[in-house]
């Protein structure tokens, strides 16, 4: 019989294999100081493009006050217990009502986390007879939810409506053969890696031919798309045809938690059957108070979204003008596609951080094919024109170096944050007071 731990330690996985050289720098880095366009990394100021603080609410003075007041008035424990048992409150229900109204649905249910919430929503909706049809580039939380699904699932090529219809035909035939079950289609409002919107208009049009329900994960669209910020469905004019609208608070709201919205009867069903909420403590009151304030600002201050988009367009135009490939993004998410292997990518990242003061996240194999590098730049309402210009110049310089082979190295640089070489900016800051 094999020992489980021995098996695990023989192979740390595609990312873990680099841990001894990468931890604390390329993986698990520590950004310190107030959340904003510039933060500290290993004692140096960086222009940061890795945070989903889209509207700049993380350190908005009204948000900071609401968070502080919530903690002062209620503490971090209240309310105790799961919502169903002892953890409900008027403010939890108020937040649900306001979220539902904002995304133009009858009702909404709060969830403790976005990732956990999506996994649980899929679990609560589908039985072993149901068939799930989903986009090939769906987020990991959707994939993990599918792993819990005991029935069939069919994947369609990313945003390929012809293939979606083909898979709907397969799903329909299967349910008819079983004489049981229905069909759930899952896609995203904005795909967080490439920044392209899900083709929701064409997807909902297929409802005229096939009987399915539609679940949309709009984590990146909520607050950033649509006339009011209600998301990709509003942007594409089909919000009413989305059966279940899902979003997290971790992006535009710069907080913790999530929600699922739809018709009141189905939301009630979810509320009374979703295991991750029935068996988990309620969202703490300071977060509820803070999220109410965030939603208020999102509703009443369209200039925040306008500033976000202004910055995103300056960044994207600047990159394209300099010859960079940013793919098919039609959101504020800004990918930069380059050629190179993992060691090259890490050398380039190191150069950007150490010599240009630019903190940007990279995606490499095995997330994407070998020989490719994606920088995912996330603009926000708090970035400045100077931030954008310095970043564009840095990318122009490092692109030339990459193409000239200056980053060709055999293995990733050893930048691990280990005992003896650790630098803690916050501790140093306190010492020097």
- In 138-188, DSSP assigns E strands to 153-156, 183-188
- Find the radius of gyration of the CA atoms of the chain: 23
Place of tokens 């002892």: 86
Q: Mean per-residue pLDDT for 392-407?
A: 93
Share of the chain above pLDDT 90, in %: 84
What are the residue ranges spanned by the domains of the chain?
15-54+302-403, 61-300
pLDDT at 429: 46
Say how many C-beta atoms besides its own lie within 10 A of residue 90's C-beta. Answer: 8
145 has a pLDDT exceeding 90: yes
Quick one: DSSP state of residue 378?
A: -
Instruction: Name the fold adopted by 15-54+302-403.
Output: 3.90.1150
Contact 337, 325 (CB under 8 A): yes
Q: Which backbone phi and psi does 243 adopt, to 5 degrees?
A: -70, -40
DSSP β-ladder status, 183-188 and 131-135: parallel
pLDDT at 340: 84
267 has a pLDDT exceeding 70: yes
Packing angle between helix 385-403 and helix 342-356, nearest 10 degrees? 140
In tens, the pLDDT along 175-187 reads 999 999 999 999 9
Q: Which backbone phi and psi does 376 adopt, to 5 degrees?
A: -110, 105
122 has a pLDDT exceeding 80: yes
Q: For residue 325, what are the β-bridge partners?
A: 337
Q: Compute the half-sphere exposure of residue 389: CA atoms within 13 Å on the CB side of its CA.
A: 3
409 has a pLDDT exceeding 70: yes
Instruction: Select, from the ranges 18-27, 78-87, 362-371, the one with the highest average predicted confidence (pLDDT).
Output: 78-87
Q: Which of the pair, 82 or 21, is modelled with greater confidence? A: 82
Q: Mean per-residue pLDDT for 325-330?
A: 95
The answer to pTM > 0.85 is yes
CA distance 31 to 248: 22
Average pLDDT value over all residues in the chain: 93
**Quick one: pLDDT band at residue 420, thresholds 50, 70, 90?**
very low
| Helices (H) then strands (E): counts for the chain | 17, 14
Burial string for 264-303 (b: 16+ CB within 10 Å, else e) reads eebbeebbeebebbeebbbbbbbbbbbbbbbbebbeebee
pLDDT at 431: 52
pLDDT at 252: 97
pLDDT at 425: 43
DSSP β-ladder status, 38-41 and 334-339: unpaired
CA distance 333 to 252: 12
Residues in contact with 6: Cβ distance below 8 Å, sequence separation at least 6, in sequence order: none
Question: Hey, what are 114's tokens?
Answer: 């976005």
6-15, 294-303, 308-317, 359-368: the lowest-pLDDT one: 359-368
Secondary structure class of 259 (helix, strand, coil): strand
Burial zone of 318 (CB within 10 Å; 0-12 exposed, 13-18 middle, 19+ buried): middle
- In 220-308, DSSP assigns E strands to 244-248, 258-262
**Quick one: pLDDT band at residue 341, thresholds 50, 70, 90?**
confident
Closest CA to 378 of 430, 322, 333: 333
- In 153-205, DSSP assigns E strands to 153-156, 183-188
**Quick one: pLDDT band at residue 414, thresholds 50, 70, 90?**
confident
In tens, the pLDDT along 163-221 reads 999 999 999 999 999 999 999 999 999 999 999 999 999 999 999 999 999 999 999 99
Decide if 15-54+302-403 and 61-300 have a common fold: no
pLDDT at 418: 59
Closest CA to 295 of 337, 249, 241: 249
CATH 3.40.50.2020 fits 61-300, yes or no: no
Secondary structure class of 241 (helix, strand, coil): helix
Q: Which backbone phi and psi does 347 adopt, to 5 degrees?
A: -65, -40
Q: Which backbone phi and psi does 371 adopt, to 5 degrees?
A: 85, 0
């Amino acid at each position: 019989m094999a020992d489980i731990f021995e098996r695990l330690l023989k192979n740390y996985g595609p990312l873990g294999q680099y841990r001894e050289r990468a931890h604390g720098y390329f993986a698990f880095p520590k950004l310190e100081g107030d959340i904003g366009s510039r933060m500290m990394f290993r004692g140096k100021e960086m222009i940061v493009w890795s945070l989903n603080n889209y509207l700049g609410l993380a350190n908005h003075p009204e948000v900071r006050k609401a968070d502080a007041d919530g903690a002062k008035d209620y503490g971090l424990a209240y309310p105790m217990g799961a919502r169903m048992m002892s953890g409900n409150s008027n403010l939890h229900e108020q937040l649900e009502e306001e979220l539902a109204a904002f995304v133009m649905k009858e009702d909404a249910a709060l969830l403790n986390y976005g990732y956990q919430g999506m996994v649980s929503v899929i679990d609560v909706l589908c039985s072993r007879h149901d068939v799930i049809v989903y986009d090939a580039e769906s987020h990991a939380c959707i994939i993990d939810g599918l792993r819990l699904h005991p029935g069939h699932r069919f994947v369609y090529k990313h945003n390929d409506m012809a293939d979606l219809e083909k898979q709907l035909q397969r799903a329909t035939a299967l349910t008819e053969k079983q004489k049981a079950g229905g069909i759930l289609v899952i896609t995203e409002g904005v795909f967080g890696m490439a920044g392209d919107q899900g083709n929701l208009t064409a997807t909902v049009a297929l409802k005229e031919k096939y009987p399915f329900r539609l679940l949309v994960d709009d984590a990146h669209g909520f607050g950033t798309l649509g006339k009011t910020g209600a998301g990709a469905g509003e942007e594409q004019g089909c919000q009413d045809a989305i059966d279940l609208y899902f979003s997290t608070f971790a992006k535009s709201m710069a907080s913790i938690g999530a929600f699922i919205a739809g018709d009141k009867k189905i939301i009630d069903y979810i509320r009374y059957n979703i295991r991750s909420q029935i068996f988990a403590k309620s969202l703490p009151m300071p977060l509820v108070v803070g999220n109410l304030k965030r939603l208020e600002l999102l509703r009443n201050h369209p200039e925040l979204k306008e500033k976000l988009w202004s910055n995103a367009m300056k960044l994207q135009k600047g990159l394209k003008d300099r010859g960079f490939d940013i793919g098919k993004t039609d959101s504020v998410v800004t990918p930069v596609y380059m050629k190179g292997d993992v060691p090259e990518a890490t050398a380039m990242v190191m150069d950007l951080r150490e010599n240009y003061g630019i903190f940007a996240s990279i995606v490499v194999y095995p997330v994407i094919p070998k020989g490719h590098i994606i920088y995912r730049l996330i603009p926000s309402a708090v970035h400045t024109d100077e931030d954008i210009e310095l970043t564009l110049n840095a990318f122009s310089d490092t692109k030339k170096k990459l193409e000239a082979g200056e980053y060709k190295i055999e293995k990733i640089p050893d930048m691990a944050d280990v005992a003896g070489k650790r630098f803690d900016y916050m501790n140093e800051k306190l010492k020097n007071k």
